[in-house]
Amino acid sequence: MPKHLVISTSGNPASNSRRMGRAAFAHLQKKEVDCDWIDIREMELPL
């Protein structure tokens, strides 16, 4: 099975799309799907 990547691209901690991404990531994990989470807020980006 392919690996899935869920990416949060919002810098806003209250972002609806971030919450949906987290929900999707949790669902994939619950189904034991190989997946990763990337949150740009956790990266050192020159923004």
pLDDT value, residue 46: 84
Residue 11: the pLDDT is 83
Exposure of 38 in the CB half-sphere (CA atoms within 13 A):
8
> CA-to-CA distance for 4 and 24, rounded, in angstroms?
11
**Cα–Cα distance list, 46 to 12, 23, 41, 43 (Å):** 16, 28, 11, 9
8-41 pLDDT, tens digit each: 998 888 999 999 999 999 999 999 999 999 999 8
The domain tally of the chain equals 1
Asked if residue 15 belongs to a domain, the reply is yes
For residue 12, tell me if it sits in a domain.
yes
**pTM for this model (two decimals):** 0.80
Domain of residue 14: give its range. Answer: 4-42
Q: Does any domain span residue 38?
A: yes
Residue 47 lies in a domain: no
Is residue 21 a part of any domain in this protein?
yes
Q: How many helices (H) and strands (E) does the chain have?
A: 1, 2
Residue 29, token pair as written in the block = 């994990």
Asked, for residue 9, whether it belongs to a domain, the answer is yes
In a domain, 35, yes or no: yes
pLDDT at position 1 is: 67
